[in-house]
Amino acid sequence: MPTYPIAMSPERVELIYDMLRRLEIDPAKILHAGQRFVRHQTLCIGDRLTGTKRITAIADRKGGALTFIDTVIDYRNPAGELVCEDHCSLVARNS
């Protein structure tokens, strides 16, 4: 699957910053650890989708020096059908 779902809209970036604000994590201390997409339907350029982000796991490691955050954004079409999922892993440096 092409990676163009990443460029869908500026709202995607705002979802990430909103999550970091709520978790009180400085965006400057974030590393992108991984990403994958799960396609449920054909995705075409020009499709209108709505994304809902959820945190699936948070874990402290290295004695609390690092926080791993796993998230999923579910993208749905206007009929409410799941079109694709964006699974993302972030690492926050806590020192």
Gap between the Cα atoms of 27 and 11, Å rounded? 16
Q: What is the mean pLDDT of the chain?
A: 86
Gap between the Cα atoms of 73 and 50, Å rounded? 9
Q: What is the band of 6 on the pLDDT scale with cuts at 50, 70, 90?
A: low
Q: Tens of pLDDT along 39-67? A: 999 887 788 888 888 999 999 999 989 99
